[in-house]
Structure 1
Amino acid sequence: MTSTQTRERPPARKTGAKNAPEPGPPAPPVRKVGLRSLFPYLQGYWPTLGIVAVLSLVVTLLTLSQPVLTRDVLADIEADRPVGRLVALLIGVLVVVAVLGGVRDYLLQRAAEGLVLTARRRLVARLLRLPITEYDQRRTGDMLSRVGADTTMLRAVVTSGLFDTVTNVVMVGGSALMMCLIDPTLFAATALGLGLGVLAVVGLSRRVRGASRDAQDRIGEMTSAVERAISAVRTIRASGAEEREGKAVDGYAQQAYHAGMRIARLQAMINPITSTTIQVAFLVVLGLGGARVASGAIQVGDMVAFVLFLFMLWFPLGRALTAYSRLQSGLGALQRIEEMVDLPQETDAVAGPLTVRERTRPGTEPADAEPRPPAIEFEGVSFGYGDGETVLRDVSLAVPRGTRTALVGPSGAGKSTLLSLVERFYDVTSGTVRVGGTDVRDLPRRELRGRLGYVEQSAPVLAGTVRDNLSLAAPDATDDDMREVLRSVNLMGVIERAPQGLDTEVGEGGVLLSGGERQRLALARTFLAAPPIMLLDEATSNLDARNEALMREAIGTVTADRTLLVVAHRLSTVVDSDQIVVLEHGRVVAAGRHEELTGTSPLYRELASHQLLIQ
C-alpha cells in the first residue's frame, strides 16, 4: 500500500484540535486497591522493611524519653543536685536518634526505589504482552504515563505515606500516653480539640485518592496528545497545523490543571484545619495548665514535660495527616497501575526469539514421509475487529510450501488482516488458520512466531543503531552475518558512510534514514532471522525502480526453498509469483498466475491495466 492507503484495522479514536477534547471511552471497572495490593511489589524487601520498623520503634522510644529526661534535669536543678550525668545522657540520646534516623531513612528510600523498580518491571512486562486489541483501543501516551509518573508516585506511598503514617501514629500514641500519665484532666481537654480536627482531616484525605486518580488520568491523556503531536511534527508543520494541535494539547493540559486544582483545594483545607487544631490545643494547655500549676495540681517540671510532649504530638500528628493524604494519592496511582496489570496478556506469550538452531526449517522431513500439508492454510476464515464490521468473509486458500503467494486487491479488502491472523495478533471469528497443518491456536506463540518472519506495512525501525535493529530477532547473529544481509538489500552504504559502522544511529523511528532505507533495513532484519515462512506486507512500496529490482532479486535469493506470502499493491513486484490471490470486500474472488488472472478475473485485469502491466 502507499502512504495514502489505509490498512485494515479498527477505526482509530478521533482527536480534533479543540480546546475541550472529547473524552475517550469510559475505563473498564477495576478492583479497588489497598495497602495489600502493594505486597507483591515489596517481595524481597521485607527484611529491609523489618529493620526499618525496628529502627523506627527505637527512634520513637528514644524521642519519647527526651521530655522525661528534661523534666528530671529541671527537677535536679530545682533541688540543687548535680545534673551532669542526666545532661550527658540527654545529649547521647539526641545523637543516637540522629544516627539511627539517618540509617532508617536510607534503608526506607532504598526499599521505596526497589518498589518503583519492581512496579516498572512488572508493568512493562505486562504492556509488552498485552493482546494487540488493547493497543488498538488505548493511547500510547497514557500507557507511558503509567510507567513513568504513576510508578514514581509509589515511592511516596512507602516513604512519606505508609511509614510516615505508621511511625508518626506511634509517636502520637506514645506522646498521648505520657501526657495522660502526667495529667489526665489536662490531656482530656487537649484530646477533645485534637480529635475534632483529626476527624475532619481524615474525611478530606479520603477524597484525595479519587481526585489523584482523576488527575493522573488527565495527565495520561495530555501525554498522549503530546506524543501524538511530536511523532507527527513534520506533518503538522507542513500542514500549518501547529496552532490547532497546540490548542488540542492545551485542552488536555487544562483538564489536568483543573484536576490538580481539585487536589490543591482539598489539601488547602487540610493544612489550615491541622494548624488551627494544634494552635487551639496549645492555647488550652497554656491556659488550663497554667491554672493547674498555680493551684498546685501539677509541678512546673510536669507542665514543661507536658508541653514538650504536646509538641511531640503536634508535629507527628501534622506529618501523619499529611502522610495519610499522600498515601491516598499514591494508592490512586497504584490503582491505575493495577488496571494495566489486571488486563489479560497473550497466553503463551513469546519469551524471546528462537535461535537459528531452534527454528523449524523446510526440507528436514524424511524423503519417504507422507505428503506434507501446506505451509499456511485458511479454511472458512471470517473475522471482524469487534466494531461491528466484518473484514474477512469465509476465506479459504492454501499457500504450498516453498512457493510464493501474493495477496492483491483494493484497499480494505482484508489483505493485511490475513497476515495478522497468521501471526495470531488476532484470533479468527470463525474458521481455521493452519501453519504446517496445525491450527495456530494450538501452537505456542513462541513456536509459531519462530517459524515466521514478518515485515509490517510501515516497516518500523527502532530507535538505536543498525546493529540493534538487525539483532532484534537474531541476537546470535555475527557482524559478518549482518554485513552480508545488508549487502543483499543494497544497504551497505548506510554503514560505510559513517565511521560507527554497524553502530550507526538510525534516529527515533529511523528518522535519519530515508523511507526506502527504513524499508530495506526492516527486510534485512527479517532475512537475518532466516525463518522458513516470510510474511511481507507491502515490503517494497517505498523503493525506487532500481532498488525494487535489486530487492526482488534479493528476496528471490533469500527465500529460495522458503515459503513467501506477500501483500502487494504494485503488481509489478508479484507478477512472477507462483500464486496470486485476489481479494475484494473480504472475500477471495480469484486465484491463479498472472497470465491466467488477466483473462479470468475482471478485477485483476482492471488493477493490472491501471498499472500499465497490460494494454
Structure 2
Amino acid sequence: MPSLARAPMRLLLGYLRPHHRGLAAGAGLMFVGGLVNLAQPLAVKRLLDGVTGGTSFAEPMLLLAALLVAGALIGAGGMYLLEATAESVVLDARRRLIDRLLRLRVGVMDRAEPGDLLSRVTGDTTQLRAAATTNIVDLVTGVFQIGGAIVLMARLDLVLLGVVALVLALLLGVTALLAGRIRDVSERTQAAVGRLGAVLERALGAFRTVKANGAERQQTATAHRAATQAWQHGRRAARWVSAAGVTTGLAVQLAFVIVLGVGGARVAAGDLTVSSLVAFLLYLFYLAGPVSQLAGGVTGLQTGLAAVGRIDAVVRLPAEDPDEQAEPNAEATQPVSVAFHGVSLRHRPEDPDVLTDVTLRIPATGLTALVGPSGAGKSTLLALVERFQDPTSGHVEVGDRDIRRWPLRELRARIGYVEQDAPVLFGTLRDNLLLGTPDASDDWIDDVLEQTMLTTLVRRLPQGVDTPIGHRGVTLSGGERQRVAIARALLRRPSLLLLDEPTSQLDAVNEQVLRDLTAHVARTTTVLMAAHRLSTVIEADRIVVLEAGRIRAVGTHQSLIDSDDLYRRLAQTQLLLGLEAPAAAVSNGYRGRPETWAADAGSLDDPW
C-alpha cells in the first residue's frame, strides 16, 4: 500500500482494536464456512465417481447436503458477528467525534462549517462501518479462501491451475491500479456531500430570513450546485467501482472459458477424468465469490480510508483539554474578582489586534459595564473570561488566580453567561432553563422565573415549563428568549455573571426590570455587562469605555460625562444628558438651550 495510505490504515486499525474479539470470532466463522464450502466440490467429485463406478451415491449425497447446510449456517453466524461488530465500531467513532465536536475551541467552531461537520458524524462514519469490518474481513478471508482453493485445484490439475493463476495475476494488477483512483474520487465525493450539508445548514438555520427576503430560488440554486457537484463526484466514483467489478466478473468468465477449453482437450486426451474437470470447474465457480470479495474489499477499503481521513481531520482540530473538565464545586458561590493584565488578542498571526494592552481590575460584587462603539472589544473581553479564547499576550485572572490554572468545568461552573443573541435549543422551556443546572429545585426555578418576569409566559403556555418551544425557540418572542437566557444563567447561582447585550431585544418595561434585577444580583455577585444602551448601565458602579480594543476611560456615568468626549457623544446620541449641560460639554462647544442638545447630538457622526 502506498506510504500516504499507511496513516489512514493505522487509524482504521485503531478503531478495530477495541473490538478485535468480535471481529476475530466473525472472521473465524466466515473462514470456517469458506473451508466447508471448499469441501463441496470434492464431495461432488466423489458423488460423480460413485455414479460412474456403479457404487452407492447415498452417502456422498448426504455429505454434500450436510456441507451445504453447515456452510450456510456457519457463514450466517459469522456475518451476524461482523455486522454487530461493525455497529459497535461506528458507535465508538461517532461518540469520539461527538466528544471532540463539543470540546472544540470556540474560535475553531466559528470558522467551521457545521453542516460539513455533521456529515462526518453521520455519512463518513457509515462509510467507516463497512471498511472497518466487512472489507478487511473480505480481504483476509478472500486471500485464505483463494489460497485454499488453489491448493485443492493443484491436486486436481496443475496445467489448469496455471491458466487460472495467470488470469488472477492479471486481475490483481488491474485492481491495484484502480484502488488509488477509487480512494481519490471517494474522498472528493464525501467532501462534496459535506459541502451540500453545509449549504443546507446555513439556509435552514436562517429559514425565516430566507423567506422574508424571497431568497428561496437563490438558496435553492446554491444547494442544487452543491448537490450537482456531489453527483458528479459520485458518478466518477461509480465509474471506477463498476470498472473494478466488471474486471472481476470478466476475469472469472475468461478463466472459465479457457479452463473449459483446455480441460476438455485434456479429458479427450485421457490426461484428466471428467469428474476432476467438473470438480475443477466447481472450484472455479467457487473462486468467483472470494475473488469478488477481494476486489470489493479493496475498493470498499479505499472509500473507508477516505472517510477515516476526514474523521481524523476533525479529531485533530484544536479542542479544550479533557483533563480540565473537573467536576464543578457546587458550594463555590462566593463572588470573585476579575483582572486583565496587559491583555492583547489577535485571532490569527496575520490579523490586527482585537484587544491591545488591556489592564483592568474588577472587584468582587458590583456592576461593571463595558461600553463603546461596535468592534471596540466588549464581547471579546467576556469571551476571554469564559476562556472561549486565550490572550495572545498577557493573562486574565478570576479570583486572583490565572484562569489557565482553573479546571475549565470548575471555572465555568462559577460563571453565568448570557450571549448577545440569546440562543434557545429545541425542546421544552424546562429543558432550556435547566441546561446547566439539571438538579435545580422547583422552588428555585419559580423564584428565578418571577425575577425575570417569565411567570406570565409560563401561565400562557399550555403545558407550562414543560411546553415544547420549537426549533431555536421559534414560539417565543425575542425578548422572551433573552429573558430565558438570563433565567438560565441565574439558575446556576453564579459567582460571576457575564451579560453580553442583555437588553438588545427587551422593551422599556422589561429593560427597567432587568436594571432592577441586575442591581439586586450585583449586591452579592460580580456582574460584568457589555452594553450598547447606556440607559441600562448609568447606575453601574463603574463604567469602562473601550475604543478600538483599548481602554479609554473608567468611571461613573457622571464623571465620564464630564471627562470623556466619546462617552459624552454616546450619551448625547441616546438622549441621556442631564437637563444641565456639564461644564466639560460647554467647554467642548456644546452650547445653547438644553432642548437643542438632542438635536445637536443628532448631527454628530453615529459612533455605532
TM-score for the superposition, normalised by structure 1: 0.90
1:301 matched to 2:275: yes
User: What is residue 369 of structure 2 aligned with on the other side?
Assistant: 406
CA contact (8 A) 1:202 1:321 kept: no
Of Structure 1 and Structure 2, the greater helix share is in 2
User: What is residue 328 of structure 2 aligned with on the other side?
Assistant: 354
Quick one: which of 506, 524, 532 aligns to 2:487? 524
Percentage identity across paired residues of the two chains: 44
CA drift of 1:159 comes to: 4.3
User: What is residue 325 of structure 1 aligned with on the other side?
Assistant: 299
Tell me, in whole angstroms, the C-alpha distance in 2 between the residues paired with 1:348 and 1:166: 37
User: What is residue 464 of structure 1 aligned with on the other side?
Assistant: 427
CA deviation string 1:503-543 (max 9, x = no partner): 21121111121111110000000000011111100012101
1:379 matched to 2:352: no
The one-letter code sitting in structure 2 at the alignment partner of 1:83 is: F
Tell me, in whole angstroms, the C-alpha distance in 2 between the residues paired with 1:258 and 1:32: 28
Once the two structures are superposed, the pairs formed by residues 232-247 of structure 1 within 5 Å of their partners are 232-247=206-221
Bigger mean CA offset, 220-229 vs 497-506: 497-506
Tell me, in whole angstroms, the C-alpha distance in 1 between the residues paired with 2:380 and 2:411: 17
1:171 matched to 2:145: yes
CA drift of 1:556 comes to: 2.6
CA contact (8 A) 1:33 1:334 kept: no
CA drift of 1:190 comes to: 2.1
User: What is residue 63 of structure 1 aligned with on the other side?
Assistant: 37
Tell me, in whole angstroms, the C-alpha distance in 1 between the residues paired with 2:209 and 2:323: 35
The one-letter code sitting in structure 1 at the alignment partner of 2:340 is: F
CA drift of 1:578 comes to: 0.1
Quick one: which of 464, 485, 510 aligns to 1:547? 510
CA contact (8 A) 1:459 1:522 kept: yes
Tell me, in whole angstroms, the C-alpha distance in 2 between the residues paired with 1:109 and 1:248: 38
1:92 matched to 2:54: no
Tell me, in whole angstroms, the C-alpha distance in 2 between the residues paired with 1:360 and 1:477: 15
1:601 matched to 2:557: no
CA contact (8 A) 2:15 2:132 kept: no
Highest relative contact order (Cα 8 Å, sep 6+), 1 or 2?
A: 1
CA deviation string 1:534-560 (max 9, x = no partner): 110001210111111122222333343
User: What is residue 156 of structure 1 aligned with on the other side?
Assistant: 130
The one-letter code sitting in structure 2 at the alignment partner of 1:417 is: T
CA drift of 1:352 comes to: 7.1
Structure 1 pair 250/512, CA: closer, same or farther in 2 (3 Å)? same
Structure 1 pair 454/349, CA: closer, same or farther in 2 (3 Å)? farther
User: What is residue 370 of structure 1 aligned with on the other side?
Assistant: none
CA drift of 1:342 comes to: 2.1
User: What is residue 415 of structure 2 aligned with on the other side?
Assistant: 452
Quick one: which of 337, 348, 353 aligns to 1:390? 353
The one-letter code sitting in structure 2 at the alignment partner of 1:232 is: A
Tell me, in whole angstroms, the C-alpha distance in 2 between the residues paired with 1:98 and 1:221: 43
Quick one: which of 454, 458, 471 aligns to 1:491? 454
Tell me, in whole angstroms, the C-alpha distance in 2 between the residues paired with 1:476 and 1:553: 27
Tell me, in whole angstroms, the C-alpha distance in 2 between the residues paired with 1:495 and 1:41: 47
SS at structure 1 position matched to 2:7: coil
CA drift of 1:60 comes to: 1.1
Tell me, in whole angstroms, the C-alpha distance in 1 between the residues paired with 2:64 and 2:457: 73
CA drift of 1:44 comes to: 4.0
Once the two structures are superposed, the pairs formed by residues 113-132 of structure 1 within 5 Å of their partners are 113-132=87-106
Structure 1 pair 146/450, CA: closer, same or farther in 2 (3 Å)? same
CA drift of 1:360 comes to: 4.2
CA deviation string 1:446-465 (max 9, x = no partner): 22212211111111111111
SS at structure 2 position matched to 1:390: coil
User: What is residue 230 of structure 2 aligned with on the other side?
Assistant: 256
Tell me, in whole angstroms, the C-alpha distance in 1 between the residues paired with 2:520 and 2:563: 31
CA contact (8 A) 1:465 1:503 kept: yes
CA contact (8 A) 2:367 2:540 kept: yes
Tell me, in whole angstroms, the C-alpha distance in 1 between the residues paired with 2:40 and 2:8: 36
The one-letter code sitting in structure 2 at the alignment partner of 1:549 is: Q
CA deviation string 1:161-180 (max 9, x = no partner): 11122222222221122111
Quick one: which of 46, 56, 65 aligns to 2:20? 46
SS at structure 2 position matched to 1:265: helix
The one-letter code sitting in structure 2 at the alignment partner of 1:416 is: S
Tell me, in whole angstroms, the C-alpha distance in 1 between the residues paired with 2:85 and 2:361: 56
Unpaired runs of 5+ residues, structure 2, are 578-596, 598-608
The one-letter code sitting in structure 2 at the alignment partner of 1:422 is: V
Structure 1 pair 405/332, CA: closer, same or farther in 2 (3 Å)? same
The one-letter code sitting in structure 1 at the alignment partner of 2:339 is: E
CA contact (8 A) 2:561 2:568 kept: yes
SS at structure 1 position matched to 2:309: helix
Structure 1 pair 31/132, CA: closer, same or farther in 2 (3 Å)? farther
Quick one: which of 430, 450, 458 aligns to 2:393? 430
Structure 1 pair 34/395, CA: closer, same or farther in 2 (3 Å)? closer
CA contact (8 A) 1:465 1:505 kept: yes
Tell me, in whole angstroms, the C-alpha distance in 2 between the residues paired with 1:500 and 1:164: 55
SS at structure 2 position matched to 1:230: helix
CA deviation string 1:126-178 (max 9, x = no partner): 11111222112211111111111001111111344111222222222211221
SS at structure 1 position matched to 2:351: coil
CA contact (8 A) 1:140 1:224 kept: yes
Tell me, in whole angstroms, the C-alpha distance in 2 between the residues paired with 1:454 and 1:32: 45
Quick one: which of 531, 534, 540 aligns to 2:497? 534
Tell me, in whole angstroms, the C-alpha distance in 1 between the residues paired with 2:97 and 2:177: 32
Unpaired runs of 5+ residues, structure 1, are 1-29, 363-373
The one-letter code sitting in structure 2 at the alignment partner of 1:558 is: V
Quick one: which of 525, 528, 531 aligns to 1:562? 525
User: What is residue 513 of structure 1 aligned with on the other side?
Assistant: 476
Bigger mean CA offset, 33-42 vs 130-139: 33-42
CA drift of 1:302 comes to: 0.3
The one-letter code sitting in structure 1 at the alignment partner of 2:182 is: V
SS at structure 1 position matched to 2:411: helix
CA drift of 1:294 comes to: 0.7
1:421 matched to 2:384: yes
Tell me, in whole angstroms, the C-alpha distance in 2 between the residues paired with 1:319 and 1:473: 50
SS at structure 2 position matched to 1:123: helix
CA drift of 1:31 comes to: 8.6
